[in-house]
Each structure stands twice: as structure tokens, then as C-alpha cells.
Amino acid sequence: MKLFFYGGAGGVSGANYVLEIGAERIMVDCGLFQGRRYAAPENFIPFPYEPKDIHAVLITHAHIDHIGRLPKLVAEGFRGKVYSTPPTKAFAHELLTDSQDILSREAAACGAASFCAPEHLERLMAQWETVPYHKRVSLNGTNATFFDAGHILGSAFVKVEAEGKSVVFSGDLGNSPAPLIKEREPLAAADYCLIESTYGDRVHEPRGRVMDQLEDVVEDVVRREGTLLVPAFSLERTQALLYHLQNLMASRRIPEMPVFLDSPLAIRLTESYLRFRDDLDDETRAFVDAGNTLFDFPMLKRTETHEESLAIWKTPSPKIVIAGAGMSHGGRIVNHEKHYLPDPRTVLLLVSFQAEGSLGRRLAEGAAEVVIGDERVPVKATVRYLPAYSAHADQLQLISWLRPARFALKRVFTVQGEPDSMQVLAEKIRDELAVQATIPKAGEVVEL
């Protein structure tokens, strides 16, 4: 059995791994490389393998850095099956559809053809099958099983078993307990494990205080008579924020004020959440069973059109604006940032990981001025960061997740993180669990 690291090794994004098992090639994730741009130039070069030689693809969850190149895989000859949980397929369809325009523009900027045309998506969805958690998928003698990763709705870590060996791909592991979704499942025995390391070098604040922290931020905005501007990923972070704001207003912990959900994609994904009630956690189902309507409260305004988005600026403050994208790569948030960052009454609240090179990262690091489009924008707003909203497990949680399997594990590979995070986590695994841990390089091949 050979393991190929084609993406997610040496960096945060572009997760893409292939297991060669005899004549079979099983892929796990096929994500978009991201950073300074929504789609980095390397997305538009040929794959380092023949897509037609891949027999099946297993998808851990629906974030673009794990699914974004699936249409390219199909466009270039992949004809096998894609497998994931039901929510992942539903969300992936929405996210990839929404990405078509920006991927087309990014491709043109690189002098390449777009790989996310409607016909590619249609073909991809026809090849995509869904399986529930814990149901084993048989792939010509290789077995794969999805377990709840607690990262976003439908997220999974995947255990692949073949030739008497087992390999676990963590995908992204959740910062449990999280609003709305169930906690991640523990890792049982495995021979090898690829573990994400986004926060492998740090520890989050306790998540139990996150609503108190959000309350403090909103109260600060009210005192300023300003605008709370929140760049948020359309999937998971947006729904968690809406759930908390709904509860804070209902309990009168914060005053009522307009809350704008300014993202057509986030609006569609929020509605999709309601299709998967059985995947929500007990607290959320009890909230709904008590007669509450999830993600719907009097002060929530959904802005679908560009004109409605611009009209937000005319609404008196205080107000809250939630818009994508989470790292300010694009989307409507950049228009709001251009408009509101020069205003000292504004609070910019970061609730997501900010990749190196992104506009969000520069704002998080305290830039006094940023470039948005071709315009220099002074930053007079207050920038706040609530890491407890992160959907990723921190170092303590990652080690805790691995711990039950430590006596069976032969080797752990730290992936999907910045170099320092991967290095620190690998050292922790070696020191605390006495398990061999290495940091693979892009293009590396390992015999298991």
C-alpha cells in the first residue's frame, strides 16, 4: 500500500491524498489551493496523476479547500464514484455552484480554462453517492467508513482498511462541543493517521464563554452606535452566529437591532441545514421542538440582491452585518470592509482561521491600511478576534483525539496546517504519545 501526498502537505489548503492498493487508487479529498487568492495559480495546472486512473474519491466535508477541484477531476477524465455523507453532498453542490463565477475569473487571470462549468458539476453530482456514518463502503476489497468529525454538519473522518492495514484521514476535526452539531467521535485503533494541524501549535479559549464574548462585542458596538461587521464562512460559522444572536436577543442579553445576512450562498446553506434535522445536536433539536424556528427571528434581514446589499449602508446603526467570505477573499464582505473600515465606530469581528496572505490575515495582524481591489483603505475600525468560534480542534483536542489509538498507531502524519503548526503538533505527538510523527512534503510517497 502506498500513500501519495498531493495537497494538504506543507500547507493548509488543497487537501488531496491517494492510496494505491494493488491496482486500485482511492483518493481522499480534492480541494482548492487557497491563500492570497480564492484560487491559487497551482489549481490551474494539470494534476500530477491521471484522473481516469482514480477509482473512487472519499470526501471528508464540503469546504472548498477539500472539494474545490472535484469538477476539474471530472473534467479531466475521472469516471469513478464520489462518496460522502448526505449533508456533504448537498452543501458541496451549493458551494461549487456558487464558486463558478469566481473560479472562471481566477482561471482567466491565470490564462487557463475554467474547470467548474455547469456540465462538469452536473456530471460530478451524477457520480456522487451518499452513505451514512458507520456504514461500510466496499471498494473492490478496500473498505471505507465515515465517522462524525464534529467540524461542520456532515463532516467526517474516514477510515480506510485494506491489505490488513488501516489508515485514518482526519479531514478537519471540530472544536467540540460546537453549536448546532454533534460532537466529534473518538478515534479507535488505526495503523496510520493523517491529522489536520490548523491549530496544532495553540489552545483555544474555553468555548463555553463564546456567547458571553459575543455579547460583550455587541454591547461595545451599541455604545459606539457603530456597525458590527463579521466576515464569516457561509457554512457552519454563519449558522452558529445566527443561533447565538437569536438566543441573545430572545433572552434580552443584547438589545434588538438589525442583523443582515448578506450572502445568497449563506442563505441557501442555512435553509439546507433544516433538511438535516436528525444530524443536529440534542440541544438544537430540543430548541426546535419547543416551538422555536431555527435561524429566523424578527430582526434578521436576508439580503439576496446586490441592491439590497448596498441598501444596508443606509440603515442607521447600531447594526450587525454577516457576509462572506470568512477570510475576505471576495464576496460581499469586501465591499462592506471598503465602506466601513475607515470608520472608527466599526468593529470588525473575525471568527474564522485567516490563511497566510489573505486580506483577513492582514487585518488580524493589525494592518493600518489594506488594499481592496485597486483602492487603499485606511483601517480605523477596531478588529476583534474570537478564536473560540473556530470550527477546528486545538492542540489539546487533537492530542486527546489521537490518544485512545496511541498503542496501535505506527505513524502519524501532520497535514493541513502552516509549517510551525505542523512541526509543533508532530513534536507533541512524539513527546506525549510516543508515536512516530512526521511532516510530509507535497509530492511525497510513503510505503505503508
Q: What is the CATH number of the domain that holds 173?
A: 3.60.15.10
Give dist(CA 357, CA 239) in Å, integer. Answer: 26
**Rounded distance, CA 170 to CA 401, Å?**
10
pLDDT digits (tens, 9 = 90+) for 192-242: 999 999 999 999 887 778 899 999 999 999 999 999 999 998 888 999 999
> Rounded mean pLDDT of 53-71?
97
Same domain for 191 and 64, yes or no, is yes
pLDDT at site 319:
98
- Do 270 and 368 belong together in one domain? yes
| b/e map 205-230, b = 16+ CB within 10 Å | eebeebbebbbebbeebeebebbbbb
pLDDT of residue 245: 96
Same domain, yes or no: 164 and 242 = no
Same domain, 195 and 221: no
| CA proximity to 214, closest of 233, 235, 240, 234 | 240
Same domain, 194 and 214: no
Residues 266 and 231 in one domain: yes
Residue 170's domain comprises 2-202+391-447
What CATH number is given to the structural domain containing 214? Answer: 3.40.50.10890
Share of the chain above pLDDT 90, in %: 85
The reported pLDDT for the residue numbered 326 is 86
Helices 237-250 & 264-273 angle (0-180, nearest 10) = 80
pLDDT-based confidence at residue 59 (cuts at 50, 70, 90): very high
Same structural domain, 22 and 83: yes
Q: In what order do the strands lie in the sheet with 347-350?
A: 300-302, 259-261, 319-323, 227-231, 347-350, 382-385
Percent of the chain topping pLDDT 70:
100
Q: Mention every residue, 6+ apart, whose C-beta is less than 8 A from residue 150.
A: 173, 174, 175, 176, 178, 181, 182, 183, 184, 185
- Give yes or no: residues 318 and 414 share one domain: no
Looking at residue 324, its pLDDT comes to 86
Is residue 152 domain-shared with residue 244, that is, in the same domain? no
- The whole-number average pLDDT for the span 400-429 is 97
Cα(118)–Cα(406) distance, integer angstroms: 45
- Tell me the C-alpha distance between 61 and 181, whole Å: 14
Q: Which of 356, 371, 389 is the last residue of a domain?
A: 389
Specify whether the CB–CB gap between 302 and 333 falls below 8 A. Answer: no
pLDDT of residue 362: 95
Cell 491563500 belongs to: 35
Residue 7: what pLDDT?
97
Q: In this structure, what are the phi and psi dihedrals at residue 292, rounded to the nearest 5 degrees?
A: -80, 150
**What average pLDDT is seen over the chain?**
95
pLDDT at position 429, please?
98
180 and 31 within one domain: yes
Residue 325, pLDDT score:
85
Is 135 in the same domain as 224?
no
What is residue 36's predicted lDDT score, i.e. its pLDDT?
78
Lowest mean pLDDT among 160-169, 228-237, 306-315, 335-344: 228-237
**Last residue of a domain, which of 363, 389, 415?**
389
Q: Strands of 101-179 (E only): list them.
A: 128-130, 137-139, 142-148, 156-162, 165-169
* pLDDT score, position 424: 98
Taking only the tens place, the pLDDT of each residue in 273-294 is: 889 988 999 999 998 888 888 8
Over residues 367-402, the pLDDT tens digits come to: 999 999 889 999 999 999 998 888 999 999 999 999
pLDDT in tens, 73-115: 999 999 999 999 999 999 999 999 999 999 999 999 999 989 9
Same domain for 424 and 298: no
pLDDT average, residue stretch 174-191? 94
Beta strand extents in 22-127 (DSSP E only)? 24-30, 56-58, 81-84
For the chain, what is the domain count?
A: 2
Alpha helices in 225-315 (DSSP H): 237-250, 264-273, 282-289, 306-311
**Domain edge (last residue) among 389, 408, 436:** 389
